[in-house]
Homo-oligomer: A and B are copies of this chain.
Amino acid sequence: MSEIPYKIYLNESEMPKAWYNLRADMVHKPAPLLNPATLEPMTAQELGGVFCEELVKQELDDTTPYYEIPQEIRDFYKMYRPSPLVRAYCLEKKLQTPAKIYYKFEGNNTSGSHKLNSAIAQAYYAKKQGLKGVTTETGAGQWGTALSMACAYLGLDCKVFMVKVSYEQKPFRREVMRTYGASVTPSPSNETQVGRKILAEHPDTTGSLGCAISEAVEVAVTNPGYRYVLGSVLNQVLLHQSVIGLEAKMAMDKYGIKPDVIIGCAGGGSNLGGLIAPFMGEKLRGEADYRIVAVEPASCPSFTRGTFAYDFCDTGNICPLAKMYTLGSSFIPSANHAGGLRFHGMSTTLSQLYHDGFMEAVSVVQTDVFEAAQTFARVEGILPAPESSHAILAAMNEAIRCRESGEEKTILFGLTGTGYFDLVAYKQFNDGTMSDYIPTDEDLQVSISKLPKVDK
Are B79 and A378 within 8 A (Cβ)? no
0/1 string, A159-180, CB within 8 A of B gives 1: 0000000000001100110111
B5, B11, B383, B421: which contacts A12 (Cβ < 8 A)? B5
Interface assignment of A32: CB less than 8 Å from any CB of chain B: no
A107 to B69, CA, bound (A): 28
Q: A229-256 toward B: CB 8 Å interface, digit per residue (1/0)?
A: 0000000000000000000000000000
A307 interfacial by beta-carbon distance below 8 Å:
no
Are A175 and B427 within 8 A (Cβ)? yes
Using known A-B contacts A12-B6, A79-B90, A378-B153, determine if residue A383 contacts B110 with beta carbons closer than 8 Å.
Answer: yes
- What residues of B have a CB within 8 angstroms of the CB of A110 in the complex? 377, 381-383, 418
A228: Cβ under 8 A from any B Cβ: no
A374 at the interface (CB under 8 A from B): yes
Chain B positions within 8 Å of A9 at CB level:
9
Within 8 A of B (CB), among A363-382: 374, 377-382
User: Is A66 an interface residue, CB under 8 A from the partner?
Assistant: no
The answer to whether the Cβ of A78 comes within 8 Å of any Cβ in the partner chain is: yes
Collect the chain B residues with CB atoms within 8 Å of residue A426's CB.
175-176, 178-179
- Interface residue from B5, B179, B427 paired with A377 (Cβ < 8 Å): B179
Contacts of A377 in B (CB 8 A): 110, 152, 179-180
Given contacts A79-B90, A430-B179, contact A172 B378 (CB under 8 A): no
Q: How many chain copies?
A: 2
Cβ–Cβ contact B80 & A381, under 8 A: yes
- Asked if A79 and B381 make an inter-chain contact with CB atoms under 8 angstroms apart, the answer reads yes
Chain B residue nearest to A381 (CB atoms) is B79
**B382, A175: Cβ atoms under 8 Å?**
no
Q: How far is the CB of A166 from chain B (nearest CB, A)?
A: 15
The chain A residues found within 8 Å of chain B, CB to CB, are: 1, 5-7, 9, 11-12, 75-76, 78-80, 90, 108-110, 149, 152-153, 171-172, 175-176, 178-181, 374, 377-383, 418, 420-421, 423, 426-427, 430
Known: A153-B379, A172-B423, A180-B377. 18 other contacts (CB 8 A): A5-B11, A5-B12, A5-B78, A6-B79, A76-B381, A79-B90, A79-B380, A152-B378, A152-B379, A175-B423, A175-B426, A175-B430, A178-B427, A179-B374, A179-B377, A179-B426, A181-B378, A420-B420
What are 19 of the A-B contact pairs (CB < 8 Å)?
A5-B12, A6-B78, A6-B79, A7-B12, A9-B9, A79-B380, A79-B381, A90-B153, A110-B377, A110-B382, A149-B378, A149-B381, A153-B378, A172-B420, A175-B426, A176-B383, A178-B430, A179-B383, A420-B421
